[in-house]
Amino acid sequence: MSDIKTGFTGELEDKTTVAANVKRATAAVQREAGAVVASAQDHRAATGSVLLLVGAAAFVAGYLLGTGQRRETPVSRYWR
């Protein structure tokens, strides 16, 4: 019978543990965040435009959600 470990000089790393998955996910998030920062630094005008558009869209969404809720306030009851 042959030894199946012949020629293997490293250690087997168990990639199925939760800690290993968390480490890989953390490393991937850090790489992606670095790529976003580098892109934002290279394209400052586009970054500013995107932030302005996202802010405007959030304002409009909040305004529409706020005006969609009709609440009777005590002040409006006194004037009717």
pLDDT digits (tens, 9 = 90+) for 7-34: 666 666 656 788 888 999 999 999 999 9
Is there a domain that residue 3 lies in? no
The alpha carbon of residue 57 and the mean position of all alpha carbons in its chain are separated, in whole angstroms, by 18
The CB density around residue 30, as the number of other CB atoms within 10 Å, is 10
pLDDT band at 43; cut points 50, 70, 90:
very high
The domain of 53 spans 18-78
> pTM for this structure?
0.51
Mean pLDDT of the chain: 82
Provide φ and ψ at 67, rounded to 5°. Answer: -80, -15
Is there a domain that residue 45 lies in? yes
Torsion sign (Cα): 28, 34, 39, 45: positive
If you write DSSP's letter for every residue of 50-78 in order, what string do you get? HHHHHHHHHHHHHHHHHHH-----HHHHH
Look at the chain and report how many structural domains it folds into: 1
